[in-house]
Amino acid sequence: MQQQVSVITLGIADLGRARRFYEQGFGWTAVFANDEIVFFQMNGFVLGLWLASALEAETGLRRAGTSGAFAMAHNVPARSDVQPVMDRLVQAGGTVTRAASAPPHGGYRGYVADPDGHSWEIAWNPAWAIDDKGHVSFGL
């Protein structure tokens, strides 16, 4: 089977608030939006923001709109990019959960939660290649 994830959908409480974080904070452009869902075309998959109530009804799970034990990372080209991106995300409604610092395994990173608590690591990781289409390759 392909090692492939087609969609990542984040349950959110307020579509306008969530959209502002991703559009103004990350500077991303939506490929589709209606009054309950927004899709972004990403690097090989699609990211969705969907009202948590609708997501719960669709999946059959009940999570009361809270985020969970997972995190996403957005890697940036240089160490000096980490703090400015974190600042933009905070201006767009995010909350710093860990200030930027150098982890033991190398690189530089901090964590910002989106307005619904979904966790984003903003990282400079020189060992992992990113091509011009944003495709990321594991490296040591």
Q: Applying CB under 8 A, which residues contact its own copies?
A: 1-12, 26-29, 31-32, 39-47, 52, 55-56, 58-61, 63-76, 85, 97-98, 103, 111, 113, 116-119, 121, 123, 125, 128, 130, 133-138, 140
Q: In which element (H, E) is residue 86 found? A: helix 82-91
Cα–Cα distance between 9 and 49 in angstroms, integer? 6
User: Which residue number, 1 or 16, has a Cβ lying nearer to its own copies?
Assistant: 1
Distance of alpha carbon 73 from its chain centroid, rounded?
Answer: 6
User: Which residue number, 35 or 69, has a Cβ lying nearer to its own copies?
Assistant: 69
User: Which residue number, 16 or 137, has a Cβ lying nearer to its own copies?
Assistant: 137
CA distances to 6, 72, 117 from 69, rounded to whole Å, are: 20, 11, 11
Measured from the CB of residue 126, what is the shortest distance to its own copies in angstroms? 12
Neighbours of 83 (CB within 10 A): 15
User: Which residue number, 43 or 91, has a Cβ lying nearer to its own copies?
Assistant: 43
Cα–Cα distance between 93 and 3 in angstroms, integer? 33
Measured from the CB of residue 93, what is the shortest distance to its own copies in angstroms? 16
List the one residue out of 44, 62, 51 whose CA is nearest residue 116. 51
Measured from the CB of residue 50, what is the shortest distance to its own copies in angstroms? 9
User: Which residue number, 16 or 77, has a Cβ lying nearer to its own copies?
Assistant: 77
Measured from the CB of residue 30, what is the shortest distance to its own copies in angstroms? 10
Cα–Cα distance between 117 and 133 in angstroms, integer? 28
Measured from the CB of residue 41, what is the shortest distance to its own copies in angstroms? 5
